[in-house]
Amino acid sequence: MTTVQDIYELSPMQQGMLFHTLYAPASGVYFEQRSCLLAGSLDVAAFKRAWQAVVERHAVLRTAFYWEEADKPLQVVYASAELPWIEADWQTLSEPQQEAKLAAFLQSDRTQGFRLDQPPLMRCVLFQLSPERYRFVWSHHHLLMDGWCNALLIKEVLAFYTAQRQGQALTLPSPCPYRDYILWLQQQDQQAAQTYWQQALADFHAPTPLGIDRSRPTPNTPHSEHYNQWHTLSQTLTADLNAFAQRYHLTLNTLFQGAWALVLSRYSGTLEVVFGATVAGRPPTLPGSDSIVGLFINTVPVRVALSPAMPLLSWLQQIQKAQRDRETYAFSSLTDIQSWSAVPHGTPIFESLLVFENYPVSLTAALTDDSSGLIIQEGQGFEQTNYPLALVVIPGETLALRVNYDRDRFPRVAIQRLLGHLETVLTGIMAAPEASTGQLPLLTPTQQQLQAWNQTDQPIPDRCVHELIADQAQVTPATTAVIFEEISLSYQELDQRTNQLAHHLVQQGVQPGDRLALCLERSAELVVTLLAILKTGAVYVPLDPTYPVERLRFILKDAQVSLLITAPGETVDSAIETAEIVHSMGVQVLDVRPHQAHITTQPSHPVTQLPSHSPTSNDPAYLIYTSGSTGTPKGVPIQHQSLTNLLNSMAQAPGMTAQDTLLAVTTPAFDIAALELFLPLTVGGTLVVASQDTVRDPQSLAAQLEHHDVTLMQATPATWRLLLESGWSGKANLKLLCGGEALEITLAQRLLNSGAELWNLYGPTETTIWSAALKLEAATLADGFVPIGPPIANTQFHVLDAQQRPVPLGVPGELYIGGLGLSPGYWQRQDLTTERFVANPFSAVGADGGTPHAASWSHHLELALGAEPCAPTGSVLYGTGDRVRTREDGTLEYLGRLDHQVKLRGFRIELGEIEAVLTQHPDVSQAIVVLREDNAGETQLVAYVVLSSELSILNSELKTQNSSPSSPHPLITAFTPPPPRPASAGLHGA
């Protein structure tokens, strides 16, 4: 090794690059490789001497790096270093052979990398392709220099080459050494920098998510490959951007920082984003800094806040001012900046990087210098950072954009869309400088159009459910309709019994629109009672006999129930029948079985022959209660047309015919029970009603499936898991419908081979039971999760951001649902109706921003669910609170809830409701409830409570009290004190 000329420390950027190179030596990170074609009479010896001359001229090109057995890494400059030079003659190869060998060489060159302790960290290779055509490859490590230096070196190489060919000596001014920059860094005020960055990143805790990761990314390894995706802006748009920047005294860099911030905001769904930006880092206070060959660039975080109402120009000016302020402290290392922030150690401050190449001399310009006598065409280049995604902006007559991205994390199609969205934002800025940031478009007009999977229009019968079943009784009167244990009813018997009970209810004073509660376990009598209520034009309110008394009492009062239908022997708490409810609330109680003899004397013709008892499709069929965040359940009315639409669609897909038998296993208080109890009867099939004891015993349930040759069963994942764990091996002709809560991938894979078909169903109560149905197959589950299927008939899905704008394909947003299935709103909850049922911005009706549907139905509900017309179909969307993203095939990936709500054993539960119940205990001051999985993978609720007495004393009391108004049984399986936290931290900060 030659004489050591100098030793000094590394710059902060060099330290970072060294760390990532040592961490992943085979990844190609920070390996720089450029390849170009040389045409002309090349003097190879002179060209080689010219490259050696620049190595001798610049100390940094003779530098090696040492980190072992030293307190801190050092760079060592040697007095001399011979540039590795390789030549090869490929003239005998065909052009395809040359291209193949070049591709193989470029890859092997990158794989070879560099020994960081052996200078120079640079090499050149020259392949002769023909007598006057060469391929030149120049490789070096990014530790040596940044992109600013490329043009400087190429100009010097060509100058040395020209001089040598002409037999002249070239004298250039002595270059300033890179050590000058290292000394300058050591003189900067680190305390002032720390103060600045602490203020700039105050209250910032996590990187801005990009939102376009693969559904099941490849595990992160040091060897992840990065790809480049190019996108060129038109000459017109480039000129417009330059003119815009000049007119409003902005830099192009500012425009791109603003556009990138807008894209990130829309992709991440946040109004504050942080991304990295590469700064040139050549301080004007350092003499000759613009001509020093070395690594000056630095990467610093850029934090941008967005307000949808803020004027665009004012916002861009703020970004530019912040950029100027940031430049003063841009010398700080990213490691230091991270340590000064609240971002946890090991978590990156940002995941995307913006690089604006504002070099004084472009590489293209340097290559077009014809004084050398060579025609030089810039070819391909390779460079890779350690960031998942880097956007590089390259100025020119046409602005070029290059995204270097981790292909294990991001699909290529998502990157292509991202670049298109960035161009749309830039175009929007040019078109409307007076707009606010929230008004700028992200999607192209084509992308904003309704997708094909939203084209679900389909005619439905203008009949109510009970009418469809009565029609079926005329077609197949003798066919078995309902089976419950030893009881069997034909369609004719079912129709007659429902008509007789309907007449009896009318005699009891039941009027259309009345709310009739029924508290019955699953039985044949339950089916008869439901249909009888519908035939009177009344609204049924299902109750579960196992519900806590407080919940039952609340529903009876809130729904203004006029009649409670029950039967002796049901497990209904006697408190329901107290004088308080019967008299002060005006609720009558009807025991069906003691009146059975009288009921059988009633007419068997339909009560709906009386005009006043003929409900229309716009009238409500049932009122069902779901969980409420304040401890108060909320009522959801569902219209006849919505129920008919659901059943009509489900008869087609998943599909049910008169030859099918369905086993009903769901409590009637759970809305999905309506599908089980009504669907088979509308198509002429057979309904088998499982008893409560059967449902609780998986062995009995499996026996029922075989005994009745059941071909269709709908159940929650919990029920299907119970069956499988009991040893059930499946049933070849069984169609499995799964819904009510998220279907876990491993359970779905087990169920795939348990029957003829497996369907994943999705839908909130507010959109009538199910809104989507997807047949699952092995290929469907290949991405490691269970997708949500396309919308059912007359249903539309929209994935929107917080401002209710469409998000790009693959980007998370909230699922909004429109169509015939929408409920009119929440019973007596105008505030909540207005919040969750919003005007459909994609519909001609209500697109002016109003909420005609919510308003008209609020009045409708105030009139006791009368027959007032509902809002026009399609004028309203329901915000589900579900966070999803759309996949390439149009299905949805469920990502979680946007609120404090979970689903457990099929029940929708507001955790706030459980917390509200717990804090009613006098010794509980605070409570937070979370969903956790136990070691067996079972989902359970765990409560963290702050108590004023010993936890052990209260455990039994709390387990009794935590029977939420929204659940039929105690939900929380464990109580624990919260983990220790600083005194200033609230419980919800856990």
Buried b (16+ CB within 10 A) or exposed e, 21-44: beebeebbbbbbbbbbebeeebbe
- Encoded tokens for 687: 């309904």
Mean pLDDT of the region 872-885: 87
Band (905; pLDDT cuts 50, 70, 90): low
Report phi then psi at 687, rounded to 5. Answer: -105, 120
788 DSSP assignment: B
pLDDT of residue 579: 40
- Establish how many alpha carbons lie within 13 A of residue 198's alpha carbon, considering only the half-sphere containing its beta carbon: 8
Mean pLDDT of the region 138-151: 93
pLDDT of residue 851: 35
Band (954; pLDDT cuts 50, 70, 90): low
Give the closest residue to 73 by CA, choosing from 32, 113, 20.
20
At 637-648, the pLDDT tens digits run 999 999 999 999
Band (372; pLDDT cuts 50, 70, 90): low
Check pLDDT > 60 for residue 963: no
Give the closest residue to 494 by CA, choosing from 515, 519, 476.
476
How far, in Å, CA of 465 to CA of 612, rounded? 18
Share of the chain above pLDDT 70, in %: 82
Mean pLDDT of the region 313-319: 97
Band (904; pLDDT cuts 50, 70, 90): low
The neighbour count for residue 134, using CB atoms within 10 Å, is: 21
| Helix, strand, or coil (residue 653) | helix
- Establish how many alpha carbons lie within 13 A of residue 881's alpha carbon, considering only the half-sphere containing its beta carbon: 19
Higher per-residue pLDDT: 920 or 319: 319
- Encoded tokens for 112: 């070879």
- Cβ–Cβ < 8 Å for 942, 974: yes
Band (121; pLDDT cuts 50, 70, 90): very high
How far, in Å, CA of 140 to CA of 120, rounded? 9
pLDDT of residue 575: 44
pLDDT of residue 186: 93
Phi-psi region of 211 (alpha: psi -120 to 50; beta: other; left: phi over 0): left
How far, in Å, CA of 457 to CA of 474, rounded? 29
pLDDT of residue 970: 47
- Cβ–Cβ < 8 Å for 607, 506: yes
Long-range contacts at 77-82 (CB < 8 A, ≥ 24 apart): 77/4, 77/5, 77/6, 77/7, 77/179, 78/1, 78/2, 78/3, 78/4, 78/5, 78/119, 79/2, 79/3, 79/4, 79/5, 80/2, 80/3, 80/56, 81/2, 81/55, 81/119, 81/120, 82/52, 82/120
pLDDT of residue 592: 78
DSSP string covering 318-360: HHHHHHHHHHTTTTS-HHHHHHHSSSPTTS-S-SEEEEE---S
| Helix, strand, or coil (residue 169) | coil
How far, in Å, CA of 958 to CA of 493, rounded? 48
Angle 975-626-548 from CA coordinates, rounded to 5°: 55
Q: Which domains does the chain have, with CATH numbers?
A: 4-180 (3.30.559.10), 188-367+384-448 (3.30.559.30), 465-781 (3.40.50.12780), 795-897 (2.30.38.10), 901-989 (3.30.300.30)
DSSP string covering 13-73: HHHHHHHHHHHSTTTTTTEEEEEEEEES---HHHHHHHHHHHHHH-GGGGEEEE-TTSSS-
Which residues, 6 or more positions from 483, have their beta carbon under 8 angstroms from its beta carbon?
489, 524, 686, 687, 688, 689, 708
How far, in Å, CA of 698 to CA of 719, rounded? 8
Within 863-976, residue ranges assigned H as helices are 911-918, 951-961
Record the pTM: 0.79
The mean pLDDT value of the chain amounts to 86
Band (369; pLDDT cuts 50, 70, 90): low
Give the closest residue to 277 by CA, choosing from 220, 334, 359, 347.
334
pLDDT of residue 184: 95
pLDDT of residue 609: 60
At 217-276, the pLDDT tens digits run 554 455 567 899 999 999 999 999 999 999 999 999 999 999 999 999 999 989 999 999
Give the closest residue to 450 by CA, choosing from 834, 790, 768, 210.
790
Is the peptide bond preceding residue 120 cis, with omega within 30 degrees of 0?
yes
pLDDT of residue 550: 82
pLDDT of residue 912: 60
How far, in Å, CA of 194 to CA of 762, rounded? 51
Band (889; pLDDT cuts 50, 70, 90): confident
Mean pLDDT of the region 385-398: 90
- Establish how many alpha carbons lie within 13 A of residue 838's alpha carbon, considering only the half-sphere containing its beta carbon: 19
Which residues are paired to 931 by β-bridges? 941
Mean pLDDT of the region 448-471: 87
pLDDT of residue 24: 82
Band (958; pLDDT cuts 50, 70, 90): low
Check pLDDT > 80 for residue 181: yes
Report phi then psi at 228, rounded to 5. Answer: -115, 135
How far, in Å, CA of 750 to CA of 201, rounded? 47
367 DSSP assignment: H
Give the closest residue to 274 by CA, choosing from 385, 349, 193.
349
